[in-house]
Structure 1
């Protein structure tokens, strides 16, 4: 089964807690945090780093001093030396999330906010656009973000970034359940959608065994658990 974890930022981390967590990261990750102009971006990125490091420690017993991360040619990170452990991270709004599996996996969370829905025609297939505009007007925005999150999760699971044209595959729905059509890959993948508070989150994997709901923590709970070394 794919394991899915979601961390809700109930309030910003204090400056002291932020520094305690950041000090445990490698130099390059700390430097990345310093480059953010907005505090909320730095906090979400820090929590994503802490989340995957905590999961690696809990699941694999690997200390952070021994964990080595690499990235493929498209920038997707992986844990060096562990072909049986695949992960993906995402964050938006007040949610930070991770998906973990023994095969490639992708996850994406999108904060629902008002946009001009005509943008769908630039990135979505005709069938996906029809799926949006055939919905009642009050539900179109949610459907847009459901499709967007599903498409992003698939691209991230493939690990080839936007070298995969977003209009080369389609997210369809059977009732409220999403599925992929005309995939550019020989690997069949399944989708799962979660309606998070004010957001939509999608997970894509080579199995259809997903949890009913992600394992959920607050940012304070994650930080406290992580700091208990």
Structure 2
């Protein structure tokens, strides 16, 4: 089982919908949301919680009845259901939640103008060579693809940025794979399309194609 839930956070910029949604979430998440100063960041955090609620309800579970703990490097885990894994990510006006019966990592990034050369030190020699084949907007696009693929793997293995970006290698062709020494699992990548301004990468164990569901938060918040 591998499912990905995606939502635009724009509806939560409206006070009425934001506070209605906030009133229905766990106390811990409500406090975490309100620690953010800006509504944009509050909306991202709240949207991620709503997507996790949706993902768990699809498995016949209630988030309010489950305990969430953390792995050694801070990855959120379901304390009583270690066989059920989830991961969340958000960027600007998008939030994503993935749920699986095996390890999973998701990363979404909104593309912006950047100096790719300034960030090349984070990549392996082969990854830098791959980026060097592109120019202009195409180079920015491939940078964000590579970055989200790498971060989704770092999250799937449960280490996040405790795992150095150059400690493993993403091979982009013919389709993304990872060369790594963290474990002996076979990781599979997919890149669901969520619009021209965003990159989304999903890293999971095995080769199952995820089921992707777009969630309208206006309909989800009751």
What range is the shorter-chain TM-score in?
over 0.9
Cα distance, 1:138 vs structure 2 = 3.2
Match of 2:24 in 1: 24
1:192 to 186, 190, 193: 190
Q: 1:208 to 1:31 in 2, by over 3 A?
A: same
Q: Which runs of structure 2 are paired with 1:16-55 in the superposition (5 Å)?
A: 16-55=16-55
Q: CA RMSD in A?
A: 1.7
Q: Are the aligned partners of 2:12 and 2:18 in contact in 1 as well (CA < 8 Å)?
A: no
2:180 to 176, 179, 182: 182
Q: Which runs of structure 2 are paired with 1:1-229 in the superposition (5 Å)?
A: 1-59=1-59, 61-175=60-174, 177-197=175-195, 198-211=197-210, 214-223=212-221, 227=222
Cα distance, 1:137 vs structure 2 = 3.2
Structure 2-normalised TM-score?
Answer: 0.92
- Return the alpha-carbon distance in structure 2 between the equivalents of residues 14 and 53 of structure 1: 21
Unaligned runs of 5+ in 2: none
Q: Are the aligned partners of 1:111 and 1:199 in contact in 2 as well (CA < 8 Å)?
A: yes
Q: 1:118 to 1:128 in 2, by over 3 A?
A: same
Q: 1:196 to 1:183 in 2, by over 3 A?
A: farther
* Residue range with higher mean Cα deviation, 181-190 or 137-146: 181-190
- Return the alpha-carbon distance in structure 1 between the equivalents of residues 181 and 220 of structure 2: 36
> 1:179-207: per-residue Cα shift (whole Å, max 9, x none)?
11234322221111233211010000111
SS at match of 2:176: strand
Unaligned runs of 5+ in 1: none
Q: 1:182 to 1:70 in 2, by over 3 A?
A: closer
Aligned length: 221
Q: Are the aligned partners of 1:87 and 1:105 in contact in 2 as well (CA < 8 Å)?
A: yes
Cα distance, 1:108 vs structure 2 = 0.3
SS at match of 1:33: helix
- Return the alpha-carbon distance in structure 1 between the equivalents of residues 73 and 103 of structure 2: 14
